[in-house]
Chain A
Amino acid sequence: MYLTYIRRELRRRSKQAIVIAIGLAIGIGLVMTVSATSAGVKAAQGKVLHSLYGVGTDMTVTKTAAAGKSGFEHFGNFNFGRSSSTTHPKAGTHLSRNSLTAEIGQATLPASDVTKVASLDGVSAATGGLQLTDTSFSGTIPSFNSSGGFSSSSGSSVHTNFNIGTFTVDGIQITKSGVGPLTSSDISKGKFFTTADNTKDVAIVSSSYATQEKLKVGSDLKVAGKELKVIGIASTGSSSTDVYIPLGTAQKLAKMKNDVTTIYVSATSANDVSTVASAVHKVLPKATVTTSATLANEVSGSIKSAANLASKLGKWLSFAALIVAFIIAGLLMMAAVSRRVREFGTLKAIGWRTRRIVSQVMGEGVALGLGGGVLGILLGIGGSSMVSAISPKLSATVGPSFDTSGGASPVDFGNGGGGAPFGGSFPGASSHRPSAHGVGDAARSVAVHLTAPLQGNDILLAVVLAVAGGVVAGAFGCWRAARLRPAAALRRIE
């Protein structure tokens, strides 16, 4: 009787039932789509963070260079006679230099710090790494004018004819822990490093860099002017590291014996991350400890906008739609009950208790809610599939942006002050990665595609919302039904 009555009643006012169900479905579908998109944005952020961290890493430890030692000192190799010299290089002099330096703004840590961190409670593994930039420079010195700028013989400014090439290099500690920016699972061709490779002249290149430079397994690659043999190609997704070399090799080539720039730390448990971070900070008070939570805050770019859109506007918009749907459903239910005054009055007159009538109305509301829920789930699946199909490209930038397109260049060409007058960008510097994290680091940009993966939780959320919508709608009707007096059955007007 209970279910038959619900089914027949909903069929009788099918138009209204469809309106209520569609209203609820739109709200539920929106919430599901936004929820799935938020999950997609989080996954995208996770990819970004993963590219910065590496597999299995819970936090990184870095050290910011002290003021005046921002890492540019390594460019001393390119100091062609600045203030320390009173003579400029002669015009027409051909210069060619190659340098492997630490990331700008990053100081080094002694390798012994890796052991210190590894021995802390709650740390399951720690490895060291050197994040470096290989910069090659070649060109001919033009003549200088009296103001210190470059000029042609006619006195007008000229565009310099320098070739500057950069690529990023990660020196990685070869361990079995799997913690760090590259693991054997990332290797798509060739092989991963073995512990015997620690100081050998071997390299693994990213697939994108291999394509760009036409490198393959067995090719030779110059790092810091030294020929290295490519032994593997890595598919590291959104990572912008171009070349991976063993830590010992990196320390040797960068002349940073026993130094690391980054310590990759894996905590025993995800719950211990903040505790371990505090412990690391105590052991290395001058170091910067970055967890995924702090790093996530540094992410900017369209991915940040998408995250904000999903978490703020999207969430509130969908919940607003849902609440409006709930209220409309409730009001329509209340109106429907009002039209059934005589019906419910009759049921009361024949002995039905108020709670039985209320449960009948509630059952109708929940049935509508579930109907709306099924439609909503379909809409949610459609919405999330649409987002995944469109797969908008999101950019993510970590750290402050580093503008090389003009203005003062961080590279000191010894022009005697007054700033570098020549504009122009570093060829090949579009994906400068400067490393890790913290003040003073340059920006690292990566691109990820947004998907909206629906998860079990989203379906569960839809079901909960559907039932809640039904209960809210039913509650409005129940409130009205409960107030009916049985004498209403004897009214003579419809």
Chain B
Amino acid sequence: MYQLIDVRKYFDRGGNVVRALDGVSLAIGENDFLAIQGPTGQGKTTLLTLLGGLDRPSSGQVIFDGRDLGALGEGDLAELRAEAFGFVFQTFNLIPTLTAKENVEAALVPFRTGKAERTRKALETLDELGLADRATHLPGELSGGQQQRVAIARALVKDPKVLLADEPTGNLDEDTRDEIVALLERLWRDRGITLVIVTHDSSVARRAQRIAIIKGGRVSVRKEQALAR
């Protein structure tokens, strides 16, 4: 599914070049569950942005299903993000003025789905995540765990191939963290999606099939374990 070949990503910070990724090569297969772990500022999120087509590498290739994401135009990348990738963010990133249902519907806007169909899918997904009774609530009226579940619903409503989660439990207490990780794991199993989680939390990383450690802009895969399907 993913093939990263000598990927480098440099940032210019006031004249200083920061090497966020410095020659990363990595393969991620279909239905993999990969945890990316590492200290703060070592390039975990940068790697996720490249996997999600949110940014382009300075050099190297990020190949997804045979397409070099760095070579795609903005329109194609947007289409790919709409269809193939689902994102879950640490701070949930829900639109504060839209209800839970509308936030989930927002992910279907690029598909030009009719309003009734959009609503049906959104409610169905929220129900799957146990949030049917919170559909008309604004994000501010929901707990952190509920907000993250809405964010996960938004990511899943379009049946993506890949779910990319950036510190999905970073803003949650332990109980909620476990609940969310269990939910992601269940979805990975039930839906057959590829799950990539960026986390600095070892207890979360241990749930993954593989753990990729990033340090100094380089990746090393530390663990590979077969999880029961």
Contacts and interface: CB of A to CB of B under 8 A. Distances in A.
B184 interface: no
A486 B107 CA distance: 14
A341 to B, nearest CB: 11
Contacts, number: 89
A12 B97 contact: yes
Contacts of A490: 45, 48-49, 54, 89, 166
The residue in A1, A9, A490 that gathers the most chain B C-beta atoms within 10 A of its C-beta is A490
Interface in B126-148: none
B161 interface: no
7 A-B pairs with least C-beta separation = A351-B82, A8-B97, A351-B110, A346-B93, A486-B54, A487-B54, A487-B55
Interface string B63-83: 000000000001100110111
7 contacts: A5-B95, A350-B154, A353-B74, A353-B78, A487-B49, A487-B54, A489-B54
Contact of A1 (B48, B87, B102, B158): B102
A489 B165 CA distance: 12
A120 interface: no
B95 A489 contact: no
A402 interface: no
A347 B108 CA distance: 11
Main secondary structure, interface of A, reads helix
B217 interface: no
Interface in A9-25: 9, 11-12
Interface string B84-99: 0011011101011110
Contact of B87 (A11, A349, A492): A349
A485 interface: yes
Contacts of A1: 102, 105-106, 109, 115, 118
A437 interface: no
B38 interface: no
B55 A342 contact: no
The residue in A9, A350, A353, A354 that gathers the most chain B C-beta atoms within 10 A of its C-beta is A350
Interface of B: 45, 48-49, 52, 54-55, 74-75, 78-79, 81-83, 86-87, 89-91, 93, 95-98, 102, 105-107, 109-110, 115, 118, 154-155, 158, 166
B156 to A, nearest CB: 11
Nearest to B86: A350
Interface residues of A, number: 25
A492 B115 CA distance: 32
Interface string A140-172: 000000000000000000000000000000000
A9 B110 CA distance: 20
A4 B102 CA distance: 9
A350 B87 contact: yes
B107 A350 contact: yes
A432 interface: no
A441 B79 CA distance: 79
Contact of A346 (B89, B97, B105): B89
Contacts of A350: 81-82, 86-87, 106-107, 110, 154-155
Contacts of A342: 91, 93
The residue in A342, A343, A347, A353 that gathers the most chain B C-beta atoms within 10 A of its C-beta is A353
A343 B54 contact: no
A356 B111 CA distance: 12
Contacts of B115: 1
Contact of B96 (A12, A349, A352): A12
A5 B82 CA distance: 19
B107 A351 contact: yes
The residue in B82, B97, B110 that gathers the most chain A C-beta atoms within 10 A of its C-beta is B97
Contacts of A351: 78-79, 81-83, 107, 109-110, 158
A433 interface: no
B109 A492 contact: no
Contacts of A349: 52, 54, 81, 87, 93
